[in-house]
């Protein structure tokens, strides 16, 4: 089986040529964005947990005073 080939003299083929795909975002860009979002989410969760723990500790201190 031969690979798909375009006749670049045809206007439709020019629009689908590999030169146009070079501008498309790569899978690596998408993976980097996902890792960044995961890191942000994890940081937000950790911050929220820290705040809840601090509030609980303050409540316990107040009740014990």
- Tell me: the pLDDT tens digits for 13-43? 555 545 545 555 666 777 777 788 889 999 9
- Give the DSSP letter of residue 1: -
Q: What is the DSSP letter of 64?
A: H
CA distance linking residue 11 with residue 17, whole number of Å: 10
Reported as a single tens digit per residue, the pLDDT across 45-54 is 999 999 999 9
- Report the sign of the C-alpha dihedral through residues 25, 26, 30, 33, in that order: negative
- Does residue 62 or residue 8 have the better pLDDT? 62
């Amino acid at each position: 089986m031969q690979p798909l080939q375009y006749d670049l003299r045809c206007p439709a083929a020019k629009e689908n040529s590999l030169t146009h795909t070079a501008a498309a975002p790569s899978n690596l860009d998408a993976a980097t964005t996902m890792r960044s979002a995961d890191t942000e989410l994890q940081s937000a969760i950790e911050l929220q947990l820290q705040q809840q723990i601090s509030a609980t500790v303050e409540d316990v201190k107040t009740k014990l005073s």
